[in-house]
Amino acid sequence: MRNDYTRIEDFLNDDSFVSWVLTGRDDGYWRQFLAAYPQQSERLQKAQALVLEIRNNEKADLPPLNQRMVWAKISANLHDPEASVQESRVFKPGHYAAWQWAVGFVLMLGMSWYTWRTLPGGSITYRELSSSIREKNELIEKINEQAAPLRINLEDGSIVTLHQHSKLAYPRQFGDRNRNVILVGEAFFKVSRDSERPFYIYANEVVTKVLGTSFRIRAFEKEPDVTVQVSTGRVSVYKQRRIDLTDPETDGLVLLPNQEAVISREDENLSRRLVEWPQPVLKREFDTPPTRYDKAPASRILRDIETRYGITILFNDDALNRCYLTTTLTEESLYDQLDLICKTIGASYKEVDGQLVVESKGCR
Amino acid sequence: MAIVKNDIELWLAFKDGSERALERLYKRHFPAMSRYGYRVFPDRLLVEDAIQDVFVDLWRRREYLSEVGQVQPYLLRALRNQLLRNSRHDAFEQAENIDDFLDYLSTLSAEQHSIDRETQLTRAQSVQNALANLSHRQREAIHLRFYQGLGLDAAAKVMGIQKQVVKNLLSKSYAVLRVTLKALISLIPILF
């Protein structure tokens, strides 16, 4: 047993001593040492106090690093090594000087978005989504457990009506480039128009991008499908997945009013169809009376319906120009009206890819 | 019941391709790595990215990695290298050469500073204040030794310098601490 400690420093430079203080290793040795050299006790205790003081100080504050998000990125990269090399090249050197908070937010978002897309197929949870978006802004989280819908006003004037058992996360202040929110469950969105800042809704693996419009999204974590239904405007929907190219929207669908997209979370299936109860797009702001048609050509009536519901109806103009009918279009459902018209003129209709096709042999 | 595996067992499992083992190593070392990374470079994004790179890199090279005696210094060393690679921080790279000179300067100024203040020191001064007077590299050495608990050899490896240089950094640190902490003599029993 050596005893050449003449200063506190000598203890501090002794690996065994430091690790004993920090972890309790070599405890037997140091007990024996104290017993053998009681005159060292004061010096040793001071060294011990100093080491602990420094340790506690260094331990005091954990830098605000996001452990979960960093792992999410690592984990995504483990399966796709080439992507990670690319990512490193794109985002690495030189950028750091500029990586201040504002820019950083956008880039981090871009990176995390990239990472989601590189996730191999698997489902994306609310937690992963929110930890990725929670960057500059703390996210506000609203949960509606009540049967009554909850109305949420967002900073940009958009309004979200949140249904029961649903959750919306959104930043107090949206970014300069985009507006991102996360949805679990079902909600109706009325997004105020801002073509500079697209509005993105992340719901499970589905991204819905809009500029300004109204639509409904249903995306419960336990359900196999995600549904997006458009009331007005134009919405683009796509899945987040790895095989996406630079512009994931090319793989997506553009939805028009009264169309809905059903996205299967399991496979890559993305289908478009008409909603079950199409609603008129044109608001009857000043209570227009029901439109009455007196011996009008069927083609004209169908065009009117097209405009009213914002749905594309395909038919042969020449054939239907000569079909005349007298009818009144009221608040009845779209399909009831179509049934009536087709019955009268001896035609039939079907839905193909979110559009209606009316088939007729024409009228004599 | 979960069996607690030590670092070396986890390291071997991860080299065998266990992603779960890698995740456990990550979870275990993330706090220490982020503290150290942040000590070297107080830039959150930079440190997060470097930690990410370290683990992704480990995974990709896992078949070529040798067995390590201690995982923690290895990870800290990898993190430090990664931070340097990612940052291209000129001042930091040059610091390798002019390090001693800078440390000398900062020791002088810190000592002078402390002596000036000592006369008017009436309130208790914490170790934190004392540590704040250390140079960047002194602080790093102190951190590795007394928070991470590394031996002199391991600390030298992590910092990529000779053991003797670590010793010098540390004893200069003690000198700064000694002066700063003199005010504490009556408050807590730390004496040199």
Domain with A163 in it: what CATH number?
A: 2.60.120.1440
Residue B88 φ/ψ region, left for φ over 0, alpha for ψ in the -120 to 50 degree band, beta for the rest = left
In a domain, B49, yes or no: yes
Contact A186, A220 (CB under 8 A): yes
Residues of chain A with Cβ-Cβ distance to B166 below 8 Å are none
Q: Following DSSP, what letter does each residue of A42-79 receive, concatenated?
A: HHHHHHHHHHHHHHHHHHH------HHHHHHHHHHHHT
Contact A63, A57 (CB under 8 A): no
Sign of CA dihedral A164, A165, A171, A172: positive
**Which of A65, A75, A92 has the CB atom closest to B48's CB atom?**
A65
CATH of the domain at A299: 3.55.50.30
Three-state SS for B13?
A: helix
- Split into its structural domains, chain A has a count of 3
Say what the ipTM of the complex is: 0.72
Q: Do B34 and A9 touch (CB under 8 A)?
A: no
* Pair B13, B56 in one domain: yes
Out of A83-92, A159-168, A332-341, the most confident range is A159-168
Within 74-103 of A, beta carbons closer than 8 Å to B belong to 74-75, 77-78, 81, 84, 88, 91-94, 96, 99
* Pair A223, A129 in one domain: yes
* Pair A56, A79 in one domain: no
pLDDT of residue A137: 59
* Pair B82, B138 in one domain: no
- What is the spatial distance between Cα B45 and Cα A97, in angstroms, rounded to a whole number? 11
Domain of A84, in residue numbers = 67-274
Residues of chain B with Cβ-Cβ distance to A136 below 8 Å are none
pLDDT of residue A23: 86
* Pair A161, A214 in one domain: yes
Instruction: Write the CB contacts of B100 (distance below 8 Å, at least 6 apart in sequence).
Output: B168
Q: Is the pLDDT of residue A1 over 80?
A: no
Three-state SS for B105?
A: helix
Q: Identify the residue whose tokens are 């070392």.
A: B29
Domain of B63, in residue numbers = 7-87
In a domain, A279, yes or no: no
Q: Do A53 and B171 touch (CB under 8 A)?
A: no
Q: Do A94 and B127 touch (CB under 8 A)?
A: no
Q: Do A62 and B191 touch (CB under 8 A)?
A: no
Q: Do B143 and A96 touch (CB under 8 A)?
A: no
Q: Is the pLDDT of residue A252 over 80?
A: no
Tell me the mean pLDDT in the region A150-169.
89
- What is the spatial distance between Cα B179 and Cα B192, in angstroms, rounded to a whole number? 10
A57-86 pLDDT tens trace: 888 777 788 888 888 888 888 875 444 333
B52-106 pLDDT tens trace: 999 998 998 888 887 777 889 999 999 998 888 877 644 444 444 444 444 444 4
* Pair B82, B16 in one domain: yes
B97-130 pLDDT tens trace: 444 444 444 444 444 444 444 433 433 346 777 7
Out of A293-302, A324-333, A348-357, B139-148, the most confident range is B139-148
Contact A218, A211 (CB under 8 A): no
* Pair A32, A111 in one domain: no
Q: Is the pLDDT of residue A250 over 50?
A: no
Taking the Cβ of residue A23 and every Cβ of chain B, the question of whether any pair is shorter than 8 Å is answered with yes
In a domain, B167, yes or no: yes
Q: Which residues, listed in sequence order, are joined to residue A325 by a DSSP beta bridge? A: A296
In a domain, B1, yes or no: no
Within 30-89 of B, beta carbons closer than 8 Å to A belong to 30-31, 34-35, 37-39, 42-49, 51-53, 55-56, 59-60, 86-88
% of chain A surpassing 70 pLDDT:
74
The reported pTM is 0.44
- What is the spatial distance between Cα B75 and Cα B161, in angstroms, rounded to a whole number? 16
**Mean per-residue pLDDT of chain A:** 75
- Asked which of B87, B112, B134 is the last residue of a domain, the reply is B87
* Pair A347, A316 in one domain: yes
Q: Which burial class, exposed, middle or buried, applies to B175 when counting CB atoms under 10 A from its CB (0-12, 13-18, 19+)?
A: middle
**What letter represents residue A363's amino acid?**
C
Alpha carbon of A246: minimum distance to chain B alpha carbons (Å):
23
